[in-house]
Structure 1
């Protein structure tokens, strides 16, 4: 695997410098939180609430992948396995048993984590290309199970009729009410992920990303920590899958397909893997292109392809690195 994607380039913008003072760190976090809150408040005013909700759902999905890709150095093309499995199971329970919204979310988190534990157990003993191909192959296996199991999943017609149960008198069929619900869950998810990446577990995962051999030499069970990252990432993916199913009222077959896995990888890389806010920015770019630009230009994926090539060749840290370079250039300009 290309260490350049997850190594020294990421330290410039993804992980805080150990020399940063606590006051500087608190100031930076406060500024980031203000910008995030502003985005949550403004987004439904400039975009349809459904599109705005989809952005935050995809951002939760991206946070899970970023723990693997950006912080552990594992490129997985199988995240849709956890996203789609959770959507199917929770969607089926919502449709046939009318379970509550939070029980559906809990089910999705559990299914996402459990399926990630299974896939991760089979994959973490491999590395590089073999690891990537295993995640892809297992994703295809789950996809074909969903395709054939028409009595439950609906096959290529998908699973329609997923309701949004009310909670405490709040009707989530109202697009704005559902947006508030989704954005609140996104903020909670971001807070949890921040705590994870700044915890001892997060530091160990970053050590594995930087030098797996050295991490193993000092006594860390690398496979076990990789599996932990898989399970946590799967839990986030599962939560996103349930929210997605309730947003659109259907679980399409594509929700568990490799294209969905590829989309979240592209979005995370474009935003900036290894940065906590990279998947959020990438989700906004990807959903905006797919939902808004696609109505104006049928060949919108070309823009995504061009952006991906630019990131791979010139901006390994994505939009986050581009923004960091801009501010570094601006601050270095002599004042007149």
Structure 2
């Protein structure tokens, strides 16, 4: 516990806060919080790749793998236990990202972005034409069970919310530790100067591959939690518009901290709700304007506002210490 930093303590404190929100907020807003946590994990996966200078426009691929793993586990195997489903989703994402990573780790910038988009759209096309999986309509998911316990109604909703919060915050804490560790430092160094990383005796390809696989696992977990929350999956989970939304979240929130994409996802969900209410026919234009303003005035995202405030408070605190 002694080596916990501010971010990790914030994630620990966030758990009881999220539980309190479940009780205090209206049901519709709690639903948005729960959905945002699942999507936030995928945005977090996009963020850690951006730390390496890689923009994934196909992260919906693993988001979809997680969601369809949950649906197909029940449909074909009769499995509704969420822990078994999570294991299946993680295994599927590890195998797929392990194979695709052998190709993708060689590419950077626009080539990496377009290749991730291409493989995601392949899955989207396959699912859209698969009548056994509901084609473009997708199919419904069962009520989640927990090691033999199958809660229903409000109890089932609350149980899934608590598990979603726990897994989301734990995943964010682990990713934070990863970014602080040796591979995380190498990932950031690759963004700055990949050639120098190679000269130091470290394989940039292997580090990118590892980061890609970790991002795939996190995204698949997010896909499971999101799909179980909604109770339905469709091929749209793998569509380029979904993947683009995760990139939008990271641009809006920033890459300075693992908490940023989690908060940014909820901000986007609320923004979209009100944009649709204000302008049902042109709500996308409102989101586009917000994104444009963010890029122009806050190129490092909303999180940079907190970083600026923190830097301003440090000299003040230092002056107080000297006066004492």
Query: What 5-or-longer segments of structure 1 have no aligned partner?
Result: 1-22
Shift of 1:265: 0.8
- Provide closer, same or farther for how the CA distance between residues 203 and 253 of structure 1 changes in structure 2, counting only shifts above 3 A: same
Q: Identify the residue that residue 255 of structure 1 maps to in structure 2.
A: 237
Alpha-carbon shift at residue 130 of structure 1 (Å): 1.5
Q: 1:322 to 1:300 in 2, by over 3 A?
A: farther
* Alignment of 1:97 onto 2:80: no
Quote how far apart the aligned CAs of 1:167 are: 4.0
Q: What is the RMSD of the two structures over their aligned residues, measured on CA atoms?
A: 2.6
- 1:300 maps to 283
2:58 paired residue number? 78
- 4+ residue segments displaced more than 6 Å: 330-335
Change (3 A) 1:310 1:186: same
**Pair 147,323 (structure 1): closer, same or farther in 2 beyond 3 Å:** same
Number of matched pairs = 311
Which of 262, 272, 281 is equivalent to 2:263? 281
CA contact (8 A) 2:74 2:141 kept: no
Q: Does 1:190 align with 2:169?
A: no
Query: Equivalents in 2 of 1:172, 1:227: separation in Å?
Result: 41
* Counterpart contact for 1:82–1:113, Cα < 8 Å: no
What's the TM-score once normalised by structure 2's chain length? 0.86
- Cα separation, 2, equivalents of 1:54 and 1:150: 27
Task: Call closer, same or farther: CA 1:215–1:320 in 2, change over 3 Å.
Answer: same
Hey, what's the Cα distance between the residues in 2 that align with 1:325 and 1:316? 13
CA gap of 1:295–1:114, structure 2 versus 1, over 3 A, is farther
Q: Kindly report which structure 2 residues correspond to 1:118-267, keeping only aligned pairs within 5 A, or say none.
A: 118-151=99-132, 153-167=133-147, 169=149, 171=151, 173=153, 174-267=156-249
Cα distance, 1:195–1:248 mapped onto 2, change above 3 Å: same
User: For the Cα contact (< 8 Å) 1:57–1:243, is it kept in 2?
Assistant: yes
- State how far apart, in whole Å, the 2-side matches of 1:321 and 1:119 are: 33
Match of 2:10 in 1: 32
Q: What 5-or-longer segments of structure 2 have no aligned partner?
A: none
2:52–2:187: 8 Å Cα contact kept in structure 1? yes
- Corresponding position of 1:4: none
Q: How far apart are residue 296 of structure 1 and its match?
A: 4.8
